[in-house]
Amino acid sequence: MKIAVMQPYIFPYVTYFQLIRAVDKFVLYDDVNFIKQGWINRNNVLINNAPYLFTVPLKHQSSFAKINETMINESLYPLWKHKFLRSLEQNYKKAPCFHEVLSLVKIILETNPDTIASLACESILRVSEYLNIETVFVHSYSNYGNDFLKGEERVLDICTQENATDYLNLPGGMALYSSEHFMERNINLKFVKSGNIAYSQQRDTFTPNLSIIDILMYNEIDDVNRILNNYELI
């Protein structure tokens, strides 16, 4: 079995979904510490033909609080949601898949989330369903019983409990994990490397590394899935 373990990000970028596509089971690592200035509650879309960093408002951002304990600011969220959807409408209204994707984003944002974990996970699960991805998702907070472990040791324990043959991660994980430690447990450590990903954004220059929202707006489902398949394991 191939598995991945990742913190949930809000509408993450394409390589995150390539990782999901590449595994049999994806563990939403939602009971680890929140990462300030990371991608858990923010990402980029194109606004006025330039990358715009949208950020879900939170009550308190602390690297000592777990992701599933980090609360959304309920007093600021309704106005933020309205402005964000309005910005998407104004800037993507000519995109080929605008109507269905805006509807999808609305459904996700209107689930009345209380934590950033619940909203980020909802964005991942709903987009995966939209793309007909069949990967199984589980939450770390309700499985494994190993939150006393940290870092690589906890990931190794999850892999062992799942009888994993392969552990896949994003390229940033190369600095975090040791292939020797995984091989000691007969687990292959591999990383997802994206191919050259480009698509029409109805403008002269292409802006990469945006939220999955951008790819969905400009591509039919079959084309998105072709993009998701453009990777190699290293």
The domains of the chain are located at: 2-233
Distances (CA, A) of 228 to 27, 138, 166: 19, 21, 19
pLDDT cut 70: percent of the chain above it: 100
The enclosing H or E element of 136 equals strand 136-139
Predicted local confidence at residue 136, as pLDDT: 99
Strand 231-233 with 188-194, pairing: antiparallel
Neighbours of 151 (CB within 10 A): 10
Predicted local confidence at residue 62, as pLDDT: 86
Predicted local confidence at residue 128, as pLDDT: 99
pLDDT digits (tens, 9 = 90+) for 4-26: 999 999 999 999 999 999 999 99
- For residue 78, the Cα-to-chain-centroid distance in whole angstroms is 22
DSSP E strands in 33-120: the ranges are 42-47, 50-55
Predicted local confidence at residue 112, as pLDDT: 85
Over range 59-80, report the average pLDDT.
94
Q: Is the pLDDT of residue 61 over 90?
A: no
**pTM of the full structure:** 0.96
pLDDT digits (tens, 9 = 90+) for 100-156: 999 999 999 999 899 999 999 999 999 999 999 999 999 999 999 999 999 999 999
Predicted local confidence at residue 60, as pLDDT: 84
What's the CA gap between 117 and 33, in Å, rounded? Answer: 11
What's the CA gap between 24 and 1, in Å, rounded? Answer: 6
Over range 49-75, report the average pLDDT.
95
pLDDT digits (tens, 9 = 90+) for 191-233: 999 999 999 999 999 999 999 999 999 999 999 999 999 999 9
Predicted local confidence at residue 49, as pLDDT: 93
Backbone angles phi, psi at 19, to 5 degrees: -60, -45
List Cβ neighbours of 61 (8 Å cut-off, separation of 6 or more): 34, 36, 70
Strand 2-6 with 166-169, pairing: parallel
Q: Residues 8, 207: contact at Cβ < 8 Å? A: no
CA atoms within 13 A on the CB side of 140: 28
